[in-house]
Amino acid sequence: MKINFEHIQAAHCENGVTSNLLKYAGVNNITEPLAFGIGSGLFFIYIPLLKVNNGPAISFRTMPGLIFKRTCNALDIPVVRKTFRSSEKAARFLNECIEAGQPVGCQVGVYYLTYFPKEYRFHFNAHNLVVFGKEEDNYLISDPVMETVTTLTSAELDRVRFAKGVLAPNGQLYYPSAKKEVSEEQIKKAIKIGIKRNVRDMLYIPGPVVGVAGIKYTANRIKKWRDKLGLKQAGTYLAQLVRMQEEIGTGGGGFRFMYGAFLQQAHAYHPNDTLLNVAEDFTKAGDLWRSAAVQAAGIYKGRLGSQEDFNTMGDYLLEIAEIEKKAFKELSNIKW
């Protein structure tokens, strides 16, 4: 059984699963940037006391699962979401969906994902893919970050659906439960909601570690890392920052370029030139994030290492925080 499902590669797994599943459900105009922006995906958080893989816990996007949820909600599309205690029941439900012609999004762990390069396989459990068919013992897999479709045996799929540890998927699957036409008016409204919520998330969540304030906070912490952690561990921390920013399907520049693309696409629905101007600001912010990454690499590769170099690194982030603050302020001033 093979469902006629179109695999479109995306930068990020959840955006890709969301846009590809929605397209299948009849939302023809959906794209990865639109799903990302409507789901208010852009974010920044640095959680000082929490360690991930022995490095700082930093994220450039919103919590896993929210983009799918918010985007479907905003477009008024009903969703089925299920987790399972037993892998037999999980497999049976999945098979029933496929037989009924329904492609299904699955949350999986990456560590045992056989088609990924070994160097990428950590115990990260919030990866997403679409199952769109089954041929004998092989499930047909559309993993949005891969260029082409791939397969997993039923044992392999079961293993990643029931990965253990933080954010254990417990076999979670999800899909839009009805095919539906979405009007241009609905997309317009969804874009507006998405931007407003993103303004709130980046500017107005209280506390020093979230949003634009969080970028500033991280900037000032980085300036102290050399003395506090020593050069070696500071390098490890900076490398982790760069990986969160560039490695995990961000589309480059910690999702800032993707958000710029979203604002340009939003302009087709809301012909307000502020959107285009702010898109340019995000291009600039993304470019600065990339420059900061080059500076960080200088440090963790041992070419740089003075306090001055750490100050330069921190100053990049301060400059970024200013640009993003101004950008979101302008978005919040739009009269819709």
With contact defined as beta carbons under 8 Å apart, do 35 and 15 qualify? yes
Judged by CB under 8 A, the residue of 96, 294, 306, 336 near other proteins is 294
**Least spacing, CB of residue 323 vs other proteins, in Å:** 15
Q: Report how far residue 139's alpha carbon sits from residue 135's, in angstroms, rounded to the nearest whole number.
A: 6
Q: Where are the alpha helices (DSSP H) in the chain?
A: 13-24, 32-38, 66-74, 87-99, 154-161, 184-199, 211-246, 256-267, 273-300, 307-332
Kindly state the DSSP code that residue 132 receives in the 8-state scheme. Answer: E
Q: Report how far residue 316's alpha carbon sits from residue 216's, in angstroms, rounded to the nearest whole number.
A: 10
Backbone φ, ψ for residue 290 (5° rounding) = -65, -40
- At 19, the amino acid letter reads S
142 binds other proteins (CB under 8 A): no
The angle subtended at Cα 11 by Cα 8 and Cα 17, nearest 5°, is 50
Tell me the pairing of strands 150-153 and 55-61.
Answer: unpaired
With contact defined as beta carbons under 8 Å apart, do 155 and 90 qualify? no
Task: Give the range of 67-75, 182-190, 201-209, 246-254 binding other proteins by CB under 8 A.
Answer: 246-254
**Least spacing, CB of residue 333 vs other proteins, in Å:** 22
With contact defined as beta carbons under 8 Å apart, do 156 and 114 qualify? yes
Task: Give the range of 84-92, 162-170, 186-194, 206-214 binding other proteins by CB under 8 A.
Answer: 162-170
Nearer to other proteins, 93 or 116 (CB): 116
Task: Give the range of 84-92, 193-201, 260-268, 325-333 binding other proteins by CB under 8 A.
Answer: 260-268
260 binds other proteins (CB under 8 A): yes
**Least spacing, CB of residue 157 vs other proteins, in Å:** 17
Nearer to other proteins, 4 or 148 (CB): 148
Interacting positions 13-42 with other proteins (CB under 8 A): 33
Judged by CB under 8 A, the residue of 88, 136, 147, 185 near other proteins is 147
Under rule CB under 8 A, how many of the chain's residues touch other proteins? Answer: 54
56 binds other proteins (CB under 8 A): no
**Least spacing, CB of residue 287 vs other proteins, in Å:** 6
Judged by CB under 8 A, the residue of 246, 309, 315, 330 near other proteins is 246
Q: Which residues pair with 129 in a beta bridge?
A: 106
145 binds other proteins (CB under 8 A): yes
9 binds other proteins (CB under 8 A): yes
179 binds other proteins (CB under 8 A): no
Q: Report how far residue 177's alpha carbon sits from residue 90's, in angstroms, rounded to the nearest whole number.
A: 17
Task: Give the range of 83-91, 161-169, 204-212, 316-324 binding other proteins by CB under 8 A.
Answer: 161-169
Q: Which residues pair with 296 in a beta bridge?
A: none
Decide: helix, strand or coil at residue 221: helix
C-alpha R_g of the chain: 21
What is the contact surface with other proteins in residues (CB under 8 A)? 9-11, 33, 53-55, 111, 115-120, 122-123, 145-148, 164-166, 168, 235-236, 239-240, 242-243, 246-247, 249, 251-253, 257-258, 260-261, 264-265, 279-280, 283, 286-287, 290, 293-294, 296-297, 300-301
